[in-house]
Structure 1
Amino acid sequence: MNERYDWLIMILLGIVIALLISYRLNRWLMSPSPNRLPGIPINERIPDHPVIGLLEQEGYEVVGGKVKINLSFDTGHKPILSRLFIDYVASDDSGELYMVKLARDRMPVDWTGSGIRDRLMPFLLLYPECAGLLYIDANEKAIHRISMDWSDEEWNGQDEYNS
C-alpha cells in the first residue's frame, strides 16, 4: 500500500512541475517587448531642432538624439576608420523604432533605386531590427519613410545586369 502512495505523490509532483514550467514559459513568451529594441543605440540627449515638431505632427515621438557609429575597415595593409551618423531615433504609435536622417544640401539623395541604395541602405543593413528610416527634408517639410525588403524575383523578365 505504501508503494501506491509513493507513485501517486510522484505523479502529482510531476504534474505540478509540468504546470509550473508551462506557466513560466507562457509568461516569457507573452511578455511585452521592451520599448527599445536591442542593438539600436539610444542617446538620451535630444537637442532641439525644428524637425522634432514635424515628426510629432506626423505621429512620431523622438526617443533618442544623434548617434555616432564608428566603423573600422581592414584593407590588408592598414585599418581605415570611418563613421556613420544617425540624427535621431523615433518611434511610432505602435512602438516601432525608426532611424532618422536629416537631408543635407551637400549630400543630396538621388531618389532612384541605386541612389537610395548607395546613400541609405547602410543604415537599414546596420540595424535590421528597426522598422525603417525616416529621411527628413526640413526645407520642404517632407518626411520620407523608407524600409527595405529582399526580393529574388526578376523585373520585367530580365536580369538587372542585362538591362
Structure 2
Amino acid sequence: MKYAAALLLSLLALVAHAAQPGETLAPWTLLDQYDQPYSLGADTRILLVARDMDGAKLVKAALAEQPKGYLEARHAVFVADIQRMPALISKLFAIPAMRDYSYRVLLDRKGRVASRYAGDEGKVLWLALDHGVVAARNSYADADALKAALDQAGR
C-alpha cells in the first residue's frame, strides 16, 4: 500500500508540476481555433496558460482592444485548457465564437499541455521563455495588470 501511495504522489508531481526558472520546456503542438497547428519553439518568448474559463476571460479582456498580431509581435502564445468544456458546446458555440477574436487561441482539448504547467484556477499563468527555457513565471488575476505586462513586453 505504501508503494501505491508513493507511486500516486510521484505521478501527480509529473502531471501538475510548476515550471520553474531554468527548466527547459518539452516541445508540444496544439491546434488553434482555425484548426491550424502551432508548435512551441525557441522563438516563443511568452507562454500564457488559462486553466479554466475565468482565466480565458482575463486574457480576452486584456486583449479586447488590441489589433490582430498583438501577441505575435511579442512572440507570445495563449493556451486555453478546454478539456472540461462539453464537446458539443465547444464545437457549436465556443470555438466558432473564438474565430472572431483578434488573437490566436491554442486549444488544449485533452489537457495534455496545460496540465504540464501548474497554475491557479481563475488566473493566467505567464511563463517568460528564453529559447525554450523558463526565465520567469508570474500569475495574473487582473486583466488590467495582464494588459500592462503585455504592453511592457512589447517595448
Task: Report the TM-score, using the length of structure 1 for normalisation.
Answer: 0.29
Which one scores higher on RCO, CA 8 angstroms, separation ≥ 6? Answer: 2
Task: Report the TM-score, using the length of structure 2 for normalisation.
Answer: 0.30
Larger radius of gyration: 1
